[in-house]
């Protein structure tokens, strides 16, 4: 689908002006090139090309491009690595896409204060790699960490396996340089943790590119733990594994990570990395403990006992760094490996109270059976953050509709169970119509007022998060988001 139908003169004016700001090699306007920006990692229902793509190399350039868009009244949106799973980095209906991949430098590493400042396009994993030799690491570790940008992490408030103990992105960001939707450059937060007044940085983190574009981020680094122990607990059923998760937490043990992989995922992973997950298991739990050596040894005993109580049939401990890395490689590449068992998947992201895990997983199994679709599960069990991957094939008629319907049912069950429609992948475009299932109109109106304070003109990543946020002329009427279908057939 093409862009928003900008008038040709406006488009030419924007191209010329952007070329002046970032140089001609930083502006993309040929249709065959723009095509690659028509979606992020969510590919199957909402594809829209931007009118042009701009790649700035400095905060000032970002500000200049934003100001230009505002003056021309043209919508714009930021994009990092485009690994987002909710269509957040896909235009709602054209406009200017500001891509931050050329802003990928480290600006400062302050070892004594354990802080790092990087440009927004800097890749998550690079940060841990860069500070390893100082005995430090950056805790939020989304499974996409080898590719996703820190800016994208801030925008999505990304989490990851190790966030069970350490918290998600917002717990690690201390400051950000932000270009507001009117082109002003502002510093939110700074190098110290506690500041008086409203926590505007807290508002910005997780705002999915709708409150401005962050260009520089200051994050907290943590010292590497004294010891790490990684265990793989094998279960006959996913239900037993879920009960073990609750059991471990109930025992007062907080592992750094507790990740669940079910039978289908194990199949996909083993076809890819051969992580050594047993193919005949109903589910495996990947559990990691870190901290002082004596402490984790004691915790490991507790974890093992709990797992056995809940029917664990085998418990392995990684003996070497290589073994540990391999177990994790399997987990980190799990979603990507699903390409081995299906061509398309619809990855859900929802949260349920931990105690409801066995129930919701049973229901997901039933839903899959009813729609005749494989639903694979890999998720952050410790947080109750589930990621059902609904497998389907776009080339099979009706498959997509079935996948979407199955997804909506899962969402509704999660909300009924007292959960949330998004754990960490954001609302973006995909889930915007689910929000009314969770929030009252008054709640939504309050949120929109916050948004309007930052972006009164409604030009900054419009069409995302809020169902009502569809300024005339920018609505995408041909396609309904999956939730829209779900909501309308209720």
Partner 1 sequence: MPTAVATRSAESGRPLAPAFDAVDRPDREGILDCVHCGLCLPSCPTYLTTGLEMASPRGRIHLMRAVDEGQAGISADFVKHLDQCLGCLACQTACPSGVPYGYLLEAARTQIERRYERPAGDRRLRRVILSLFPHPERLAWLLVALSWYQRLGLSGVVRNTGLLALLSPRLAQMEALLPEVPSAAARRPLPGVTPAVGQRLGRVGFLTGCVQRFVLPDLNRATARVLAAAGYEVVSPQGQGCCGALHLHSGDLETGRALARRTIQAFERAQVDLVAVNAAGCGAAMKEYGHLLRDDAEWRSRAEAFRARVRDISQILAGVSWRQELKPVPVTVTYHEACHLAHAQRIRKEPRLILQRIPDLQLVELPESDLCCGSAGVYNLLQTEMAGRLLQRKIDRIRETGASVVAIGNVGCLLQIGLGLRQAKLPVRTVHPVELVDWSLHGMPDGEPRA
Ligand X SMILES: Cc1cc2nc3c(=O)[nH]c(=O)nc-3n(C[C@H](O)[C@H](O)[C@H](O)COP(=O)(O)OP(=O)(O)OC[C@H]3O[C@@H](n4cnc5c(N)ncnc54)[C@H](O)[C@@H]3O)c2cc1C
Which residues of the shown chain bind partner 1 in the complex (CB under 8 A)?
28, 30, 32-33, 35-37, 39-41, 43-44, 47, 55, 81-83, 99, 101-102, 104, 121, 123, 126, 144, 146-148, 271-273, 333-345, 393-396, 400
CB closer to ligand SF4 out of 292 and 339: 339
CB closer to ligand SF4 out of 68 and 268: 268
Q: How far is the CB of 127 from ligand SF4 (least distance, A)?
A: 21
The 3-state secondary structure of the chain reads: CCCCCCCHHHHHHHHHHHHHHHCHHHEECCHHHHHHHCCCCCCCCCCCCCCEEECCCCHHHHHHHHHHHHHHCCCEEEECCCCCCCCCCCCCCCCEEEECCCCCCEEEEECCCCEEEEECCCEHHHHHHHHHHHCEECCCCCCCCCCCEHHHHHHHCCCCCCHHHHCCHHHCEEEEEEECCCCCEEEEECCCCCCCCCCHHHHHCCCCCCCCEEEEEEEECEECCCEEEEEEEEECCHHHHHHHHHHHHHCCCCCCEEEEEEHHHHHHHHHHCCCCCCCCCCEEEEEEEEECHHHHHHHHHHHHHHHHHCCCCEEEECCCHHHHHHHHHHHHCHHHHHHHCCCEEEECCEECCHHHHHHHHHHHHHHHHHHCCCEEEEEEHHHCEECEEEEECCCCCCHHHHHHHHHHHHHHHHHHCCCECCCCCCCCCCCHHHHHHHCCHHHHHHHHHHHHHHCCCCCECCCCCCCCCCCCCCCCCCCCCHHHHHHHCC
CB closer to ligand SF4 out of 82 and 482: 82
- Stated length of the chain: 490
Which of ligand SF4, ligand X, partner 1, none sits in contact with 272, Cβ below 5 to 8 A by type?
Answer: partner 1
Site for ligand SF4 contains 336 (CB under 6 A): yes
CB closer to partner 1 out of 33 and 108: 33
CB closer to ligand X out of 65 and 307: 65
Q: How far is the CB of 41 from ligand X (least distance, A)?
A: 4
Site for ligand SF4 contains 36 (CB under 6 A): no
Site for ligand SF4 contains 44 (CB under 6 A): no
CB closer to ligand X out of 88 and 382: 88
Q: Which of 292, 339, 369, 475 binds ligand SF4 (CB under 6 A)?
A: 339
CB closer to ligand SF4 out of 158 and 465: 158
CB closer to partner 1 out of 44 and 439: 44
CB closer to ligand SF4 out of 83 and 215: 83
Site for ligand SF4 contains 291 (CB under 6 A): no
How many residues contact ligand SF4, by CB under 6 A? 2
Binding to ligand SF4 (CB under 6 A): which residues in 373-432? none
Measured CA to CA, the distance from residue 241 to residue 277 in angstroms comes to 14
Q: Residues interacting with ligand X, by CB under 6 A?
A: 40-41, 77-85, 88-89, 100, 120, 142-144, 148-149, 151-153, 155-156, 158-160, 208-209, 213-214, 335-336, 424-425, 428, 461
Q: How far is the CB of 336 from ligand SF4 (least distance, A)?
A: 6
Site for ligand SF4 contains 340 (CB under 6 A): no
Q: How far is the CB of 132 from ligand SF4 (least distance, A)?
A: 24
Q: How far is the CB of 422 from ligand X (least distance, A)?
A: 10
Residues that bind ligand SF4 (CB under 6 A): 336, 339
């Amino acid at each position: 689908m093409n862009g928003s139908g900008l008038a040709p003169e406006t488009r030419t004016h924007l191209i010329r002006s952007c070329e002046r700001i970032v140089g001609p090699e930083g502006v993309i306007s040929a249709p065959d090139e723009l095509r690659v920006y028509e979606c992020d990692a969510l590919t199957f229902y909402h594809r829209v090309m931007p009118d042009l793509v701009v790649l700035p190399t400095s905060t000032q350039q970002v500000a200049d491009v934003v100001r230009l868009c505002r003056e021309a009244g043209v919508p714009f949106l930021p994009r990092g690595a485009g690994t987002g799973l909710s269509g957040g980095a896909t235009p709602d209906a054209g406009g200017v896409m500001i891509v931050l991949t050329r802003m990928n430098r480290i600006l400062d590493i302050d070892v004594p204060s354990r802080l790092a400042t990087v440009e927004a396009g800097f890749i998550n994993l690079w940060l841990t790699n860069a500070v390893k030799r100082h005995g430090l690491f950056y805790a939020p570790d989304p499974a996409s960490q080898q590719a996703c940008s820190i800016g994208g992490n801030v925008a999505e408030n990304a989490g990851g396996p190790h966030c069970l103990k350490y918290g998600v992105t917002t717990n690690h960001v201390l400051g950000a340089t932000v270009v507001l939707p009117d082109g002003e450059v502002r510093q939110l937060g700074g190098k110290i943790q506690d500041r008086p007044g409203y926590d505007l940085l807290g508002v910005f983190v997780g705002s999915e590119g709708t409150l401005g574009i962050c260009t520089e981020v200051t994050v907290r680094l943590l010292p590497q733990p004294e010891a790490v122990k990684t265990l793989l607990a094998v279960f006959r059923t996913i239900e037993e594994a879920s009960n073990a998760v609750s059991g471990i937490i109930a025992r007062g043990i907080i592992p750094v990570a507790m990740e669940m992989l079910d039978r289908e995922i194990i199949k996909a992973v083993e076809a890819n990395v051969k992580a050594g997950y047993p193919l005949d298991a109903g589910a495996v739990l990947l559990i990691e403990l870190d901290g002082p050596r004596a402490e984790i040894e004691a915790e490991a005993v507790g974890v093992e006992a709990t797992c056995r109580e809940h029917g664990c049939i085998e418990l392995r401990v990684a003996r070497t760094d290589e073994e540990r890395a391999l177990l994790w490689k399997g987990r980190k590449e799990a979603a990507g490996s699903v390409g081995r068992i299906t061509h398309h998947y619809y990855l859900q992201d929802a949260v349920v109270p931990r105690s409801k895990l066995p129930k919701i997983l049973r229901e997901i199994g039933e839903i899959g059976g009813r729609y005749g679709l494989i639903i694979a599960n890999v998720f952050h069990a410790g947080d109750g953050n589930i990621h059902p991957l609904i497998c389907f094939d776009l080339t099979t008629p009706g498959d997509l509709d079935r996948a979407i319907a199955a997804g909506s049912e899962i969402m509704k069950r999660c909300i009924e169970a007292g959960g949330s429609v998004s754990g960490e992948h954001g609302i973006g475009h995909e889930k915007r119509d689910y929000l009314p299932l969770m929030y009252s109109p008054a709640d939504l109106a309050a949120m929109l007022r916050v948004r309007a304070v930052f972006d009164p003109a409604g030009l900054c990543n419009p069409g995302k998060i809020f169902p009502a946020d569809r300024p005339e002329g920018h609505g995408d009427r041909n396609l309904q988001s999956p939730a829209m279908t779900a909501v309308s057939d209720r």
